[in-house]
């Protein structure tokens, strides 16, 4: 019997021609390490008239982790951050007690067809940090540790692996790798974290000898090493994981917390205009009705 748990995504339309596949949270697996949310968007060529901007919206109790394979967009937040994110770079935004941000197309590609492909993940902050100060980190592509392991190209986006450590400051033990396997290539993935999973955005692969289709997450037996192997074409995949959450998390809209009252307070605060605004931004994304 296989130890590989398969998680299939739920697909929704975010904008004209842009689909999002949401893998976490799933009924069979609410989280992997501290990761409580896993969205995969693209790959897609957006039409010139397609509107893919996400306006000002709030978060509490989590860190957003954004990573692009193709395309670019500009992050703005209520701390005053203005940061363009490019493929291979990593944005880590810690919401703490509350932050507002937006994601918009840079000026020069506006009105043109454009490529977009990437991942946005949420990390639940530890209980003693979920009401802390918000913060933002940007690590450009050239600062991400990269190495060759058994012929595989590995980028250590977050955490530690194969003797390398990411510069991203984390709230709890967290693992996030970008792995590229050549056609027919394989990688022996050691047990790097208490919980681990793999996801290939475009190509199928073999995980411990079992087929894992593209756009499905395979939750691993993290107590033992696992062999990852490409077929006849190269495969790019990510590995996520970390220390298991010490307590369950409630999630509603853009809010994550250990206590229901924190989410309810945030919902009322957003409705009342109580979050700090983004300098220079107008408009806001309306929350769904609060139903408790």
pLDDT value, residue 16: 63
Burial class (CB in 10 A: 0-12, 13-18, 19+), 55: middle
Average confidence (pLDDT) over 22-38: 97
Q: Which domains does the chain have, with CATH numbers?
A: 7-242 (2.60.120.10)
Look at residue 222 and tell me whether its pLDDT is greater than 60.
Answer: yes
Q: What is the pLDDT of residue 2?
A: 59
Per-residue pLDDT, 1? 39
pLDDT over 50 at 244, yes or no: yes
- Res. 98: pLDDT tops 50: yes
- The whole-model pTM stands at 0.96
Over residues 260-287, the mean pLDDT reads: 95
Predicted local distance difference test score (pLDDT) of residue 292: 67
Q: What is the pLDDT of residue 8?
A: 97
- Digit-coded pLDDT (tens) for 112-140: 898 999 999 999 999 999 999 999 999 99
Measured CA distances, 127 to 24, 48, 104, 168, 172 (Å): 20, 43, 31, 20, 11
- For residue 24, the model assigns a pLDDT of 98
- The string of pLDDT tens digits covering residues 43-81 is 999 888 887 889 999 999 999 999 999 999 999 999 999
pLDDT value for 109: 67
């Amino acid at each position: 019997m296989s130890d590989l748990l398969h998680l299939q995504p739920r697909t929704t339309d975010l904008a004209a021609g842009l689909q999002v596949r949401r893998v976490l949270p799933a009924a069979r697996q609410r989280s992997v390490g501290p990761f409580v949310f896993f969205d995969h968007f693209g790959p897609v060529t957006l039409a010139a008239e397609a509107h893919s901007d996400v306006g000002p919206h709030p978060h509490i109790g989590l860190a957003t982790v954004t990573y692009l394979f193709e395309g670019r967009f500009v992050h703005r937040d209520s701390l005053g951050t203005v940061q363009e994110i490019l493929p291979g770079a990593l944005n880590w935004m810690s919401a703490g007690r509350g932050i507002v941000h937006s994601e918009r197309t840079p000026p020069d590609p506006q009105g043109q067809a454009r490529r977009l492909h990437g991942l946005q993940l949420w990390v639940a902050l530890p209980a003693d940090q979920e009401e802390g100060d918000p913060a933002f980190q940007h690590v450009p592509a050239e600062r991400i540790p990269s190495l060759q392991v058994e012929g595989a190209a590995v980028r250590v986006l977050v955490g530690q692996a194969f003797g390398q450590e990411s510069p991203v400051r984390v709230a709890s033990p967290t693992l996030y790798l970008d792995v590229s396997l050549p056609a027919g290539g394989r990688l022996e993935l050691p047990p790097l974290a208490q919980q681990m999973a793999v996801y290939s955005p475009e190509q199928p692969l073999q995980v411990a000898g079992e087929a894992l289709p593209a756009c499905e997450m395979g939750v691993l037996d993290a107590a033992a090493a696992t062999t990852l192997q490409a077929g006849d074409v190269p495969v790019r995949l990510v590995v996520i994981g970390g220390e298991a959450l010490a307590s369950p998390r409630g999630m509603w809209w853009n809010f994550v917390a250990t206590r229901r009252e924190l989410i309810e307070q945030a919902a009322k605060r957003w409705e009342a205009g109580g979050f700090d605004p983004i300098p220079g931004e107008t408009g806001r994304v309306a929350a769904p009705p609060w139903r408790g």
